[in-house]
Amino acid sequence: MIKNNLIVFIVFVICFFSACNTDSKQPNVIIIYADDLGFGDVSAYNQGTLNTPNIDRIANEGIKFTNGHSSSATCSPSRYALLTGTYPWRNKKAKISTGASLIIDTNQITVPKMFKQMNYKTAIVGKWHLGLGYGKIDYNSKISPGPNELGFDYSYIMPDTQDRVPTVYIEDGYVKNLDKEDPLFVNFKNNFDNQPTGKSNPELLTTKWHHGHFNTIVNGISRIGFMKGGKKAYWSDIDMADHFLNITKSYIIKNKENPFFLFYSMQQPHVPRTPHPRFVGTSGMGPRGDVIIEADWCIGELYKTLEQEDLLENTLIIISSDNGPVLNDGYYDEAVEKLGDHTPTGVLRGGKYSLFEAGTRVPFISYWKGVTKPKISNKLISQIDIFSSLSSIINSNLHTKDSKDLSQLLLTGAGVERDKLILEAFGKTALKYRDWVLIPPYKGSPVSKYTNVELGNSDNYQLYNLKDDPGQRINLVNQEKEKFLELKEIYSESINN
């Protein structure tokens, strides 16, 4: 009897410590989020002519989604959806942020909050663009609320975008390297003391502006908005990729003994495109191509760090982009002139700002060494689904109304997929239902006069069968009347639900 009890006790102890060991090895999760990277910009998708070997390696050893979508064709709404698991069109504040207040409520559940509840370390490094503080921001004191109040233990960010002021980094709410004797002031309406701008002093520019980017000049580049002071805190544009990468690598090494969630939010290939000199000319496509090569290298270096620290087998990596590509987005940087045979959108129509497919169908890759098997999946998945899918993977019980648990799809490329998705661009919405897309009538120019992107605006409904017509060239509203009425009803129910 004693012997049997001893055996039972030993088995119990073994099971207990095995369970503890499993809990202690919760998978790390890294989301690598590019900025304006197109479906055709990653060579693993066999659409364009750029070569991205490091992304390709991860794509070819993991799940490569050919029908993966951001929630929006613009950046701030997509980031809102990814971090909250909620459609951005449900929140009027979830629009492009420029020096604005935080657009996510601090009481709202977020992906980093979910991870914190499961005893993860959490961090964001890179582009933020979701607003900061409430009202006018004082950059000379602690800036709050921000990423830290939304669940990130550590944050090292650029406030908005590289083409906007202030051109400084913010670490855990404080401007990095700010000299208190030289305070920083920012205004998006009025200049300070007649300081040089891209509009008034074009001779000071190393990169000429095309539209909208003609205010304060920093490092030879004029930005959106005005700024003075804080000069010791200014970033170096050409060193930005290395800087964010080094912060990211240091965070991984420092926290390798703990499960961590890391949001590596890259600035490439958003304007201004400022590759480090060692990448200049490497693509043959000008700065836009060069910064994509640079971003691919950064991802390769991050992969090497995980490999060197023996973390690959316990880390889920998700790679995607906040929206589709754009060539001329405010600067004369030869993105159009040097494009050659490359097709950033692949066979898709539209791009950034557009309700057509190229606005939101983006590279979407998941990889976990030893867990994911090489697979190409054409099943429909959205970045909104990352919330509930990760919740399931780390055994959390948090979910949102809009986010679907597609964890098996994320890990195997098979299983349940979405049947419908509401797409958004500048507050305008459309329905993707299986192989069909319905775009309601919208006023406005069909083509952006600045970026030359087809926006999807039309006086009439548009209905496309993506299976037969992935380029969305044949409007089937008149030929497929039953399907049109069916999708129109589904769209109305989805928007009002």
Task: Give the C-alpha separation, 104 to 78, whole Å.
Answer: 12
Parallel, antiparallel or unpaired: strands 174-175 and 185-187: unpaired
**Using an 8 Å Cβ cutoff, are 224 and 213 in contact?**
yes
Tell me, yes or no, whether 94 lies in a domain. yes
Residue 300 has which token pair? 């390769």
Task: Give the C-alpha separation, 70 to 41, whole Å.
Answer: 16
Tell me, yes or no, whether 445 lies in a domain. yes
* β-pair partners for 447: 454
Q: What residues contact 246, with CB distance under 8 A and at least 6 apart? A: none
Question: Which of 395, 447, 463 is CA-nearest to residue 29?
Answer: 395
Residue 10, pLDDT above cutoff 90: no
Q: Identify residue 9 by its one-letter amino acid code.
A: F
CATH number, domain of 432, equals 3.30.1120.10
3-class DSSP state of 323: coil
Q: What residues contact 17, with CB distance under 8 A and at least 6 apart? A: none
Q: Mean pLDDT, the chain, as a whole number?
A: 94
Residue 458, pLDDT above cutoff 60: yes
Question: Which of 65, 229, 122 is CA-nearest to residue 218?
Answer: 229
> 330-343 pLDDT, tens per residue?
999 999 999 999 99
Give the model's pLDDT for residue 131.
96
**325 and 363 within one domain:** yes
Give the model's pLDDT for residue 194.
85
Q: Identify residue 376 by its one-letter amino acid code.
A: I
Scan for tokens 């830290």, then name that residue.
148
**75 and 160 within one domain:** yes
**363 and 455 within one domain:** no
Among 373, 403, 419, residue at a domain's last position: 419
Give the model's pLDDT for residue 25.
67
Q: What is the number of domains present in the chain?
A: 3
| 395 or 5, higher pLDDT | 395
Among 228, 263, 293, residue at a domain's last position: 228
Range of the structural domain that residue 148 is part of: 27-179+229-419
| 92 or 263, higher pLDDT | 263
Q: What residues contact 239, with CB distance under 8 A and at least 6 apart? A: 276
Residue 11, pLDDT above cutoff 60: no
3-class DSSP state of 142: coil
Q: What residues contact 467, with CB distance under 8 A and at least 6 apart? A: 435
Tell me, yes or no, whether 481 lies in a domain. yes
Give the model's pLDDT for residue 51.
97
Among 403, 419, 435, residue at a domain's last position: 419
**431 and 382 within one domain:** no
Question: Which of 262, 248, 484, 442 is CA-nearest to residue 355?
Answer: 442
Tell me, yes or no, whether 303 lies in a domain. yes
Residue 307 has which token pair? 């490999």
Parallel, antiparallel or unpaired: strands 63-65 and 375-377: parallel
User: In this structure, what DSSP letter does residue 159 have?
Assistant: S
> What's the whole-number mean pLDDT along residues 163-174?
98
**142 and 290 within one domain:** yes
**339 and 472 within one domain:** no
> What's the whole-number mean pLDDT along residues 277-293?
98
> Exposed e or buried b for every residue in 156-188, given b needs 16+ CB within 10 A?
bbbbbbbbbbbbbbbebbbbeebeeeeebebbe
Tell me, yes or no, whether 13 lies in a domain. no
**200 and 161 within one domain:** no
Please state, as a whole number, how many other Cβ atoms lie within 10 Å of the Cβ of residue 353.
23
Question: Which of 345, 295, 312, 413 is CA-nearest to residue 54?
Answer: 295
**238 and 168 within one domain:** yes
Give the model's pLDDT for residue 17.
36
How far, rounded to the nearest angstrom, does the alpha carbon of residue 255 sit from its chain's CA centroid? 23
The secondary structure element, H or E, covering residue 185 is: strand 185-187
Parallel, antiparallel or unpaired: strands 226-228 and 68-69: unpaired
**306 and 368 within one domain:** yes
The percent of residues in the chain predicted with pLDDT above 70, rounded, is 95
> 20-33 pLDDT, tens per residue?
333 446 999 999 99
Residue 440, pLDDT above cutoff 90: yes
**358 and 223 within one domain:** no
Residue 434, pLDDT above cutoff 50: yes
* β-pair partners for 433: 420, 436
Tell me, yes or no, whether 283 lies in a domain. yes
Strand stretches in 266-354, DSSP E: 315-321
Residue 147, pLDDT above cutoff 60: yes
**262 and 246 within one domain:** yes
**239 and 202 within one domain:** no
> What's the whole-number mean pLDDT along residues 186-196?
94
CATH number, domain of 121, equals 3.40.720.10
* β-pair partners for 217: 222
**Using an 8 Å Cβ cutoff, are 331 and 210 in contact?**
yes
> What's the whole-number mean pLDDT along residues 289-298?
98
Give the model's pLDDT for residue 358.
98
**Radius of gyration of the CA atoms of the chain, in A:** 23
> DSSP secondary structure string, 376-389?
EE-S-EEGGGHHHH
Q: Identify residue 66 by its one-letter amino acid code.
A: T
Please state, as a whole number, how many other Cβ atoms lie within 10 Å of the Cβ of residue 9.
10
Tell me, yes or no, whether 242 lies in a domain. yes
